[in-house]
Amino acid sequence: MKDYVVVINGKPAGPYSVEQMKGLRIKPGTFVKSEDMDDYKEAHDVPELCDLLGIKRHIREPQYFASLDIRLLAVIIDYFIIFAIYCVIAMMVVFFIDEKQLRIVVSLAGLAIIPISKIIYSTIMESSARQGTWGKILMGLKVCDEKGIPVNFSRSLVRNLSKIISTATVGLGYLMGFFDKRQQCLHDKIAGTLVIKDRLI
């Protein structure tokens, strides 16, 4: 179990174990910090403390929304990762095929798997504790619902399948984000999701 430094009367004190913190009457707005945290956080922003100390977690509605250019860069990174993995697998498969034409057919047919893989990969990663694909993580982005709560698997699946509709509208579903104050594309509106960033950059 982690130990936490606690700000008491404006001064850092501790570190304290969670058991010791129970006697400190920690409030939701009390600032705390553990060794693996970059900076102090309010106690209600630390899920572990909410559970162990009986603190009610405050849900803050998102304030900063990811612009479409940053989101596009995250998508490019994701496709690069998927394509790199595909190339490795394709090379391994083709290695065992002697006929040249069959090699070409297998390689090209495999390309159809990439968009499907992207949907599966995005659905799993965005509904995980990371709240985003590796591209989004590198760009400091997260996927949440319209209240700022992490999405579950079913909502993430709806979001990623709805991208087919956004694409089928000749990209207009994506362009909607330019005219929306929360940068929601068509698939975000269908699923009731947002792509957010932690701070304004």
Asked if the model's pLDDT at residue 74 lies above 80, the reply is: yes
- What is the per-residue pLDDT across 115-164, written as a single tens digit (0 to 9) for each? 899 999 999 999 998 899 999 999 989 999 888 888 999 999 999 999 99
Percent share of the chain, pLDDT over 90: 34
Asked if the model's pLDDT at residue 201 lies above 50, the reply is: no
Confidence at residue 54, expressed as pLDDT on a 0 to 100 scale: 67
Q: What is the rounded CA–CA span in Å between residue 30 and residue 9?
A: 10
Q: What is the mean pLDDT of the chain?
A: 83
Q: What is the rounded CA–CA span in Å between residue 93 and residue 96?
A: 6
Confidence at residue 9, expressed as pLDDT on a 0 to 100 scale: 76
List the chain domain ranges: 4-53, 68-197
